Copies of this chain bind each other. A is one copy, B any other.
């Protein structure tokens, strides 16, 4: 009971509000070369959670839009509600507080843009806001990682960390969870194209070899180190030279139609780098300036249209704020 009492202390019941609406951003995990450790948030797309306080204790999903009926409404099976419930339990509020949730997805599921992370982060940021912000973002993060475990079967933080913290994040390690916010060069833009083909994260992961040549690993971590230095130095040429993935891309690219044609198009259009967003099939052209990202994404989309592959396109700066309250 001592622990419970201590947890209760964090909550000022007078600060609890009746309703919040939250937008949480999509994210580009890996940032081309930083498999499983780097990621950044974008301004759009993203997911919305509208959360309402209700008299009856518990957590319920009221509605889900934009998921083509693919996500469960059952509060125990839905990742967002399950995470919100876990947080209320952590705060000793499970029998005290009732909330209902509208989830509005503005991005495709299974696109490699951190769809589940955006929803989870939106849900947890929403309930924390509703309760008057008892937890800091750092304290919320482990709950987001747990949500990712529920949604994807693994507790990687390379999507939830940037979705929650905003900007570019480094997940240095997991024991304990150690997330570092990296500097965001002002002119860094992402031109994202999602070819409408299905590449489930689990399959994309299973393709990856468990052992890799040390020689290639050294190349990869040289590039990762170069990218980190490039971000601090705001040296776009160094960033460009560093953003190469010699280990994961060659395998995952197999699952993405027209990957190398799109890469050629992006680089010829002047992109600093081009690669897979997360586990794909979305691809990303990283550019200096919005125009370059627009141009690369438009040319890539035009190529896919020629190949009779439907696609969606998003162009955005790096989002530095993470989730935000909306009207």
Partner of A221, one of B37, B214, B229, B232: B37
Q: A214 to chain B: which residues have CB within 8 Å? A: 208-212, 247
How far is A180 from B242 in the complex, measured between Cα atoms in Å? 12
- Work out how many copies of this chain go into the complex: 2
Chain B residue nearest in CB terms to A38: B225
The reply to whether A229 and B226 form a contact with Cβ atoms under 8 Å apart is no
Q: How far in angstroms is the closest Cβ of chain B from A238?
A: 7
The reply to whether B217 and A172 form a contact with Cβ atoms under 8 Å apart is no
Chain A, 19-37, contact with B by CB distance < 8 Å: what is the 0/1 string? 0000000000000001111
The reply to whether B212 and A217 form a contact with Cβ atoms under 8 Å apart is yes
How far is A220 from B212 in the complex, measured between Cα atoms in Å? 13
Chain A, 234-273, contact with B by CB distance < 8 Å: what is the 0/1 string? 0000100110000100000000000000000000000000
Chain A, 198-214, contact with B by CB distance < 8 Å: what is the 0/1 string? 00000000001111111
Given A172-B241, A238-B180, A247-B214, A221 contacting B219 (CB threshold 8 A): no
Asked if A224 CB lies within 8 Å of chain B CBs, one says yes
The reply to whether B224 and A224 form a contact with Cβ atoms under 8 Å apart is yes
Q: How far in angstroms is the closest Cβ of chain B from A135?
A: 23
How far is A215 from B209 in the complex, measured between Cα atoms in Å? 10
Partner of A226, one of B36, B178, B242: B178
Asked if A72 CB lies within 8 Å of chain B CBs, one says no
Asked if A122 CB lies within 8 Å of chain B CBs, one says no
Asked if A83 CB lies within 8 Å of chain B CBs, one says no
Given contacts A172-B225, A210-B214, could you give 11 more A-B pairs where the C-beta distance is less than 8 Å? A35-B221, A37-B218, A170-B225, A173-B226, A211-B211, A211-B213, A212-B212, A217-B221, A221-B224, A225-B225, A229-B232
Top 3 A-B pairs, shortest CB-CB distance? A172-B226, A221-B221, A228-B228
Q: Spell out A's residues near B (CB within 8 Å).
A: 34-38, 170-173, 178, 180, 182, 208-215, 217-226, 228-229, 232, 238, 241-242, 247
